[in-house]
Amino acid sequence: MKPILLSGVKPTARVHIGNYFGAMKQFVDLQDKYSNFNFIADYHALNQMMDKPQDIKRLTLELTAAYLAIGLDPKKTVLFRQSDVPQVTELNWIFNSLVTPSYLQSAHAYKDAVAKKKTVNMGLFCYPVLMAADILIYGSDIVPVGKDQEQHLEIAIDLAKKFNHAYGAEVFKMPKGMIWEGQSVKGIDGEKMSKSKGNVIELFEPEESIRKKVMSIKTDSAGVDDKKDPEADNVFAYHKLFSVKMLDELRGRYEKGGIGYKESKEILFANMMAYLKPMRKEYEKLIKNEKYLNKVLSAGAKKAREVAEEKMVKVRKAIGVR
Ligand code: TRP
């Protein structure tokens, strides 16, 4: 049996090229090596989307179409909605009895929200507990995590130990983190790519809008003939992702001088569109076929529920409610 690789993404925004190269592409690359469980964390999104039911629904469909368009194969990957597996929220409740408020008060995401004087609801406060339930219920071996999620994984491991210890049973397996080899992509302003900064290039936004964004990537003020350090230029950073075949040639022209940023951006835009074209075409088709997307999600949910229920039978028995 292949090891289980689990990952969840919240449906809070449209996918951008940072999500793609940073994480999503890897799910596709790894789907033969691992048994992939890939879910849309709609309940985790709830604490920031309480007032946006239509958005959750829409973004979930878009994320599903995006996953399929980039090459996730629903025959290999179990693609599903978190909310389709009620066993997860059931386990969340059981885990609640194993953690104290002071323990959760030390979680980064919570402390951050408090520091920023955001209103904190119980959804945010208990976020790591629900995430532990996600991770542990499927017997995950590997959980790819970015820096911001490392603590959540530690909490999950902690809960697995607490539970196993409290009930003297090896019900939960200890998951391991996996650091992505994926590339981090900067936004068009050179800062971390994030929706809240308004510096993202979405995978599936209109071509004209992508062109405008590419042409507005921030650069220094070197002239056409000036020698340029490719490693210091954000346009070149994108070339590394989209212009792989002509990278040496571009590097040479940067170092010698003779290529302006405008020309470099035009080349980038052309290469970017060529790279993205097949998945964009596929996405256009998929996003119109809501019925199919829901069918994929339902089939995934059915498999996920089977695995989750098998675990919950053991959990309910261990805690004495069965
Ligand atoms: N918290 C993750 C994020 O914000 C999403 C998530 C929820 C998740 N449950 C998970 C990721 C379980 C991995 C495993 O990105």
Q: Is the pLDDT assigned to residue 27 strictly greater than 90?
A: yes
Question: In this structure, how many other beta carbons lie within 10 angstroms of the beta carbon of residue 119?
Answer: 7
Q: Is 155 in the pocket of ligand 1 (CB under 6 A)?
A: no
Query: Quick one: average pLDDT of 158-165?
Result: 98
Hey, whose CA ends up nearest to atom 11 of ligand 1? 8
Evaluate whether 72 touches 79 at the Cβ level (below 8 Å): yes
Residue 134 CB less than 6 A away from ligand 1 = yes
State yes or no: pLDDT of 183 exceeds 90.
Answer: no
To the nearest whole percent, how much of the chain has pLDDT over 70? 99
- Average confidence score pLDDT of the chain: 96
Amino acid at site 168 = G
Q: Looking at residues 162-187, what average pLDDT do you find? A: 90
Query: Best mutation site among 152, 154, 176 for ligand 1, i.e. most ligand atoms within 8 A of its Cβ?
Result: 152
Closest CA to 175 of 303, 79, 302, 34: 34
| Å from CA of 22 to ligand 1 middle | 14
Q: Measure the CA–CA gap between 136 and 116, rounded to whole angstroms.
A: 31
Report whether pLDDT(114) > 80. Answer: yes
Give the per-residue pLDDT at 200.
Answer: 97
Residues 6 or more apart whose Cβ sits within 8 Å of residue 112: none
pLDDT > 70? residue 174: yes
Nearest alpha-carbon partner for 60 in 280, 297, 251, 313: 297
9 Cα–ligand 1 center, Å: 6
Rounded to the nearest angstrom, the distance between the alpha carbon of 41 and the centre of ligand 1 is: 7
Expressed in angstroms, the distance from the first to the final Cα of the chain is 30
Compute the distance from residue 44 Cα to the ligand 1 centre, in Å: 8
The pTM (predicted TM-score) of the whole model is 0.95
Are residues 69 and 283 in contact, defined by beta-carbon separation less than 8 angstroms? yes
- What's residue 146's pLDDT? 83
Confidence check: pLDDT of 180 > 80:
no
DSSP state, residue 24: I
Task: Verify whether ligand 1 is closer than 6 Å to residue 8 (CB atom).
Answer: yes
Cβ 153 under 6 angstroms from ligand 1 = no
| Averaged pLDDT, 246-250 | 97
Predicted pLDDT of residue 182 = 64
Question: Does residue 17 have a pLDDT over 70?
Answer: yes
Q: Kindly state the tokens that stand for 193.
A: 């790519």
- Among residues 54, 133, 154, 83, the alpha carbon closest in space to that of 297 is found at 83
Q: Is 171 helix (H, G, I), strand (E, B) or coil?
A: coil
Task: Please give the full DSSP string across 263-315, using - where no structure is assigned.
Answer: HHHHHHHHHHHHHHHHHHHHHHHHHT-HHHHHHHHHHHHHHHHHHHHHHHHHH
Ranges 50-64, 184-198, 269-283: which has the least confidence: 184-198
Residue nearest to atom 9 of ligand 1 (CA): 131
What local confidence, expressed as pLDDT, does residue 230 receive? Answer: 97
pLDDT value for 127: 96
Q: How far is the CA of 255 from the centre of ligand 1 (A)?
A: 42
pLDDT at 294 over 70: yes
Q: How far is the CA of 88 from the centre of ligand 1 (A)?
A: 13
Is the distance from the beta carbon of residue 131 to the nearest atom of ligand 1 less than 6 Å? yes
Whether pLDDT at 242 is above 80: yes
Instruction: Examine the pLDDT at 60 and tell me if it is beyond 80.
Output: yes
pLDDT over 90 (residue 159): yes
| 271-289: average pLDDT | 98
